[in-house]
């Protein structure tokens, strides 16, 4: 009986080998091909239907826009059936790194990151790449990491162009023979977006500075000279107070302030209200349409803000993740502009809208972004 069983086992082994496809050399070749495919996937994380858990890393809750961005994104992802882990990093790079590490350890399939410092995440994202986790850079481009697969944002240079053009149109710089005074406020130099905001605005304004139509009495024009750490309202207010004291106390008229976002604009506005001796209120630009800024627009203390609808940006990221989960290419519309130091990052760019006293009701209230009560 034992001999019969042994014979039957031998026969079964022979049939099993035949079914697996032949000789050992062919099997080795197939294994090598599989290894090569896996290597390719490591370079650009492969999407699969197994995507379920999404990490969302936002920089801070101190700015209204990041709270809205995070909450909108979490709600939209959960509505699609994903599990969403939303974390805010209190503008602390170390805390953001630790939160991303925890997301990786807890099995996140995709991590959406609005970076505090776009150049500080290279090491932690090496771990994401090694584990096949897809990284989507949200609004702020993450630099110097080949783990970043996609980027979702608004047309950043266009934001700056809108701010610069608003000033140019309001002062009629193209046709005037007058000279006007302007001061310039940007954001932190570790936020890569600032390069685009500043670059777009200066593309419009620099020719007028060069020909003397616009004068900067403080002499502070370069990106480094005009930077505002952490987009801080307090820092912007202190700098504006110093500029007013040093350059406008003698009755010199301040005609305009280029401010790259609303937090900075709020600081500029506070300084002007508290210490500018002139009768005129300068043109002040902004970005994000935060409630404080819109209320200042209604009061006549801020001239405009660039509206970036966080609902649309959240939906754009959700569309990317849904496509990835379905094994499809995510929607992108720019494959030329945004190089993070390791190559061009495929991007989905949304259109911003310039908002001022003439259209804030239509754009902000009419779209349901705010209610009338929100802006009282």
Q: Which domain holds residue 313?
A: 53-154+309-345
Q: Is residue 171 part of a domain?
A: yes
Q: Is the pLDDT of residue 30 over 90?
A: no
Q: Is residue 186 part of a domain?
A: yes
Q: Is the pLDDT of residue 44 over 90?
A: no
Q: Is residue 359 part of a domain?
A: no
Are residue 119 and residue 142 in the same domain, yes or no? yes
Q: Is the pLDDT of residue 38 over 50?
A: no
Q: Is the pLDDT of residue 19 over 70?
A: no
- Orientation angle between helical segments 193-210 and 156-170, nearest 10 degrees: 30
pLDDT digits (tens, 9 = 90+) for 269-295: 999 999 999 999 999 999 999 999 999
Are residue 129 and residue 201 in the same domain, yes or no? no
pLDDT of residue 49: 57
Q: Is residue 266 part of a domain?
A: yes
Q: How many domains does the chain have?
A: 2
Q: Is the pLDDT of residue 359 over 70?
A: yes
d(CA 362, CA 305): 14
pLDDT digits (tens, 9 = 90+) for 175-210: 999 999 999 999 999 899 999 999 999 999 999 999
Are residue 173 and residue 226 in the same domain, yes or no? yes
Q: Is residue 23 part of a domain?
A: no
pLDDT of residue 163: 98
Q: Is the pLDDT of residue 71 over 90?
A: yes
Which CATH number do you get for residue 329?
3.40.50.2300
* Domain's final residue, options 308, 331, 355: 308
Q: Is residue 10 part of a domain?
A: no
Are residue 316 and residue 280 in the same domain, yes or no? no
d(CA 210, CA 205): 9
Percent residues over pLDDT 90 in the chain = 84
Are residue 186 and residue 266 in the same domain, yes or no? yes
pLDDT of residue 28: 38
Q: Is the pLDDT of residue 327 over 70?
A: yes
* Domain's final residue, options 249, 283, 308: 308
Are residue 173 and residue 219 in the same domain, yes or no? yes
Q: In what order do the strands lie in the sheet with 214-215?
A: 214-215, 180-185, 256-259, 283-284
Q: Is the pLDDT of residue 1 over 70?
A: no
Q: Is the pLDDT of residue 249 over 50?
A: yes
pLDDT of residue 91: 92
Could you give the count of Cα atoms lying within 13 Å of 341 in the half-sphere of its Cβ? 10
Are residue 281 and residue 341 in the same domain, yes or no? no
Q: Is the pLDDT of residue 43 over 90?
A: no
Mean pLDDT for all residues in the chain? 89
């Amino acid at each position: 009986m034992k001999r019969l069983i042994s014979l039957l086992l031998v026969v079964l082994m022979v049939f099993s080998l035949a079914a697996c496809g032949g000789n050992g050399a062919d099997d080795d070749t197939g294994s090598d091909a599989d290894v090569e495919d896996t290597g390719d996937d490591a370079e650009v994380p492969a999407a699969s239907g197994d995507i379920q858990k999404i990490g969302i890393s936002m920089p801070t809750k101190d700015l209204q826009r990041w709270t809205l961005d995070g909450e909108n994104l979490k709600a939209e992802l959960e509505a699609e059936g994903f599990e969403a882990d939303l974390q805010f990093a209190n503008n602390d790079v170390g805390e953001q790194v630790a939160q991303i590490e925890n997301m990786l350890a807890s099995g996140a399939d995709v991590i959406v990151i609005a970076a505090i410092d776009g150049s500080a995440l290279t090491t932690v994202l090496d771990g994401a790449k090694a584990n096949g986790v897809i990284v989507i850079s949200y609004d702020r481009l993450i630099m110097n990491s080949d783990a970043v697969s996609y980027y979702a944002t608004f047309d950043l240079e266009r934001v700056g162009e809108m701010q610069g053009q608003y000033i140019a149109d309001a002062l009629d710089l193209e046709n005037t023979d007058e000279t006007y005074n302007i001061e310039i406020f940007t954001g932190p130099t570790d936020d890569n977006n600032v390069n685009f905001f500043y670059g777009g605005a200066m593309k419009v304004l620099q020719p007028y500075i060069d020909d003397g139509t616009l004068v900067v009495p403080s002499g502070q024009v370069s990106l480094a000279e005009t930077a505002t750490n952490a987009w801080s309202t307090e820092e912007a207010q202190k700098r504006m107070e110093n500029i007013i004291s040093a350059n406008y106390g003698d009755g010199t008229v301040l005609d305009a302030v280029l401010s790259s976002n609303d937090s900075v604009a709020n600081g500029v506005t506070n300084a002007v209200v508290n210490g500018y001796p002139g009768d005129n209120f300068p043109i002040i630009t902004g970005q994000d349409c935060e409630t404080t800024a819109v209320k200042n627009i209604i009061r006549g203390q801020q001239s405009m803000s660039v509206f970036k609808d966080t609902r649309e940006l959240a939906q754009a990221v959700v569309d990317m993740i849904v496509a990835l989960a379905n094994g499809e290419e995510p929607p992108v519309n720019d494959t030329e502009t945004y190089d993070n130091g390791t190559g061009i990052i495929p991007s989905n760019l949304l259109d911003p809208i310039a908002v001022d006293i003439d259209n804030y009701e239509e754009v902000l209230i009419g779209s349901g972004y705010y209610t009338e009560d929100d802006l009282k």
